Structure 1
Amino acid sequence: MTAEHLALLNASIDQIVELETLDGTRFLATPLFVYEGEDNPDVFFLPVERGASGNLKTAETGQSILLEDILAVRTPTQVLA
């Protein structure tokens, strides 16, 4: 992840973004907390899914992913347009 993507992730707490992992998987998420410490830097987020009618639904159970496993972070204007 570039410094620009990390900055966008930190600026997007409680907002919807698209995360792309190193293996090419893309998904919507609402970041809640970015941990940048030495031991396992990661982001804790709520997954977001698009419903059949196109509406977005945020999960109630959080997940996390290591920052080193994230290739890119995109804004809603890039994702939801």
Structure 2
Amino acid sequence: MSIRLGNSCVNCQKYEDHFCQLHETTVGTKHTCDSFDMRAAIKDDPNCTTCSRYMSATCPNPKKAAPHMLCNHWAPQEVA
């Protein structure tokens, strides 16, 4: 099974701080609409320091991990 980002409001360009700018209403992770417009980049700086595994026991390369480096096991710290 693969993991994907869903079409939820938090991934939409019209979302800002739990608020839909298009519909002018409060929204959350469970909401989406037909006007959904995916953000071009949710995280535009994937590297060791933005990885949830950095400096933890689950880091696959703890001796090599450093800022501005990236490996195949990168995991975002948070989506929003």
TM-score w.r.t. the length of structure 2 is: 0.22
Instruction: Identify which of structures 1 and 2 has the higher relative contact order when contacts are C-alpha pairs closer than 8 Å and 6+ apart.
Output: 1
TM-score w.r.t. the length of structure 1 is: 0.22
Q: Which has the larger radius of gyration?
A: 2
Q: Which has the larger share of helix?
A: 1
Q: Which has the larger share of strand?
A: 1
